[in-house]
Chains A and B, each alone.
Chain A
Amino acid sequence: MSASAAPSSQNRQSVYRCGPVRLVIDFDESEFADCLNPLLSQYDAPWDTAANTIHVLVQHSDCPADFSEVSGSYLTLQRLRVDLIDQRLVAIGPLGSRMDFDLNLGRARILVPTCSDRAGQIEEVEQQFVLLLARAWAQSGWTPLHAGSLVPPGQHRCILLCAPSGSGKTTLTSALLRRGWKTLGDDKTLLRMQNGTTCARALAHRFHLHPEAARWFPEARNLSDWPRYSRWTDKRVVQIEAIWPGRLLVESIPGGLVQVERSSEEFPLTVVPLNTTETFNVLLRQIVVPGEASHARPLVNCAAQTASRLRGARVRVGHNAFLRPQFAEELEKALLSLLA
């Protein structure tokens, strides 16, 4: 990621490198530029390839967009409904923001009305940007995957960690980083088919780690000092290099998949193998598949081809497992068996 900003009274232009996409954003309110900076600067993994540039105009609007104008046939998100109309993504949120993203021209305009719920409105606009980036990455040939990854010492193949937010992907990753494993990131990965194999690339090298993790990993003390990820969670945005230096990778080849589950049971670790169909099922559930066939097909194809090359397992991590001295060793053994 690289970011630059040149304030001039209220207008401001910011430029962000977000993996294979470069965003050039013109704001007519500099406050919005500041509010969106934490989101857009998180894509800090280095990319040396040419970027697909998208121009975005963020403007104040006098009246809110009509939420009922879109049906959500392309995507229905918690904070947005999205339709595809004549090669334009039209996304409207319940607080009245509207994005019009011309996919052919690579230009988007986001209109933001006056709203008493400023925090909610900023989150809505953040979701507009996540939508814009996810489509731009897909148009660049990459499949956005909500998954973490782990690479054993001395190897180049990774294990993808799949689970909903809050299931323990980051904690599990941290438990092995301290034993010398490496990672592309804790929840944002891009996949691409290249010469018959899948390439996984890092997008963000910052973790979202709960301060509670300091109980298990003493070197991660002072987690509460890091900035909060969002108002909905206690998780902190942590520069992983500051805690576990030398553990970050930019690229790997997926060889295994783990579906991570948290359990209230005392059994520290349960490992159940997954067949190819189950592995595909788990992988696909970490990919946002839009309702437009021409956009969905490459994403589903990438998941299917990747899953056919993965050895999968469901890993259930028991209550207080990370406090047990032998847990990390057992976990390591289970994960290594997926790459054997």
Chain B
Amino acid sequence: MILDLRTKFFFSVNISGWAIVQMFEAGATRSEVLAASANWGAGNDDHPAINAFIDQLLAEQLLEPASGTAAARSDVAVTAWTPPLLSKHKEPLQRIMVSAFDPGLPLAE
């Protein structure tokens, strides 16, 4: 699950998608992610799905281009590869809350 703290929308990701997100969190590049995916069992015919997943992360601003280099994570692993999936939930979390303990708006009694 990914929660966008700016928009309060959340997203479900499958195991392969989560591994890719963790790679990017550590500063991996697109080509490093493609290479890691191959190690996890992805074939060449999975590249369009991986690229579409990355493009979706960019479109939702969950990922933004950065300059410089960072050490990509080597501890991320996927035991059973499936094409990565990101699915946006319809309803975001509340943006304005009653109190710091109560996120909901009270219903009329």
Q: Show the binding face of A for B, using Cβ within 8 Å.
A: 75-79, 82, 127, 130-131, 133-135, 144, 146, 163-167, 187-188, 210, 233-235, 262, 277, 280-281, 284-293, 296, 300, 304
Taking chain A's interface residues, is the majority helix, strand, or loop, or is none over half, making it mixed? mixed
In the complex, what distance in Å separates the CA atom of A272 from the CA atom of B97? Answer: 27
Number of inter-chain CB pairs below 8 Å: 91
Residues of B73-109 whose CB lies within 8 A of A: 89, 93-109
In the complex, what distance in Å separates the CA atom of A130 from the CA atom of B6? Answer: 23
Q: Is the CB of A166 within 8 A of B107?
A: yes
In the complex, what distance in Å separates the CA atom of A291 from the CA atom of B92? Answer: 13
Q: Which residue of B lies closest to A234 (CB)?
A: B109
B13 CB to closest chain A CB (Å) equals: 12
Q: Show the binding face of B for A, using Cβ within 8 Å.
A: 1, 3, 5-6, 8, 10, 12, 89, 93-109
Q: Is the CB of B1 within 8 A of A233?
A: no
A292 / chain B contacts, CB cutoff of 8 Å = 5
A131 / chain B contacts, CB cutoff of 8 Å = 99-100
B28 CB to closest chain A CB (Å) equals: 19
Q: Is the CB of B101 within 8 A of A291?
A: no
Known pairs A165-B106, A234-B109, A296-B3; A281 contacts B101 (CB<8 A): no
Which of A82, A163, A288, A300 touches B101 (beta carbons < 8 Å)?
A288
B93 / chain A contacts, CB cutoff of 8 Å = 284-285, 289
Known pairs A280-B1, A291-B6, A296-B5; A77 contacts B106 (CB<8 A): no
B12 / chain A contacts, CB cutoff of 8 Å = 277
Interface CB pairs A-B, < 8 A, 8:
A165-B104, A188-B101, A233-B109, A284-B93, A285-B93, A289-B5, A300-B1, A304-B1
Q: Is the CB of B99 within 8 A of A164?
A: no
**7 shortest interchain CB distances as A-B pairs:** A164-B104, A166-B107, A165-B106, A131-B100, A134-B100, A166-B106, A146-B102
